Amino acid sequence: MSASRLKFGVVVFPGSNCDHDAYHAAKHVMGHDAEFLWHKEPDLKGSDIIILPGGFSYGDYLRTGAIARFSPIMNEVTAFAKRGGVVIGICNGFQILCESGLLPGVLLRNRSLLFSCKHVLIRAEHSSSRFTGAMSAGDILNIPIAHGEGNYFADPDTIRRIEDNGQVLFRYCDAYGEVTEAANPNGSVNGIAGIMNAEGNVMGMMPHPERACEASLGSADGRKVFESLIDSVVTQTM
């Protein structure tokens, strides 16, 4: 890896359907290298950043993300994360990270029971993470969601812990940045839209930043997520 050109590894599970969006955002929009990583091959191929993309891995059988964690590549992803490697899970990828135990909590069925596919506003909680460094606390991002199970839940002790640790990175909000019931599309506890692990190198979010990296797609706010993690990895390796 050169100091400024990173390699994104986009894991492809059977049923992933946002893998090409993530690849496009990393390679064509952000200008870095990207490679698809087939789930059966336990090899991250020198990736600097791993993306678990959205979709319906294994048809969402049993529970969303429940079977994907047994894919051979997940042992490598887990080892990479334990070594401090940067992993982001988007939508189904977030569900897989929760099922794998790399992130706390679980994503329940949306409170409305409906699959929700629309642009929402999310608020960056702080800028002192590898995933939000290019933002300021309170920044509002316009990013689409597309999920039926995005209702973040964890027991009260876990919620208290991740709140106190600053692990909550994004919350659903209204146009004024207020976290309200009306702005919460799925019933998530405390309006949580994205979290990171205690070590700060694994992040999961239900909204799709990779689908909002170009103005022609309705919003380029998702770029800030990519810019943040690229900056953090480049800085770390320089």
Partner 1 sequence: MYQSTITITLRPSILDVQGKAVELGIHTLGLTGVRNVRIGKSIQLTVDAATEEEAKRVTEEACRKLLANTVMEDYSFTVTKL
Tell me which residues touch partner 1 (CB under 8 A): 62-63, 66, 99, 105-106, 108-113, 153-155, 187
Q: How many other C-beta atoms lie within 10 A of the C-beta of residue 116?
A: 17
Q: Is 208 an annotated catalytic residue?
A: yes
The amino acid that residue 85 corresponds to is: G
Task: Pick between residue 111 and residue 161 the one whose CB is nearest to partner 1.
Answer: 111
Helix H segments across the chain?
19-24, 72-82, 92-99, 156-164, 223-237
From the number of C-beta atoms within 10 Å of its C-beta (0-12, 13-18, 19+), residue 163 rates as middle
* Annotation says 32 is catalytic: no
| Rounded least distance, CB 157 to partner 1, Å | 12
Catalytically annotated residue among 91, 98, 173, 213: 91
Catalytic residue, from 39, 173, 210, 213: name it.
210
Tell the smallest beta-carbon distance from residue 98 to partner 1 (Å). Answer: 8
Give 222's DSSP letter: T
C-alpha distances out from residue 98 to 67, 139, 150, 174, Å: 12, 26, 12, 26
Q: Taking the complex as a whole, how short is the minimal distance between the CB of residue 148 and partner 1, in angstroms?
A: 11
Nearer to partner 1, 36 or 153 (CB): 153
3-class state of residue 28 by DSSP: helix
CB of 152 to partner 1, least distance (A): 11
Q: What is the largest CA-CA distance in the chain?
A: 47
Residue closer to partner 1, measured from CB, 88 or 103: 103
Is 41 an active-site residue? no
Query: Catalytic residue numbers?
Result: 91, 208, 210
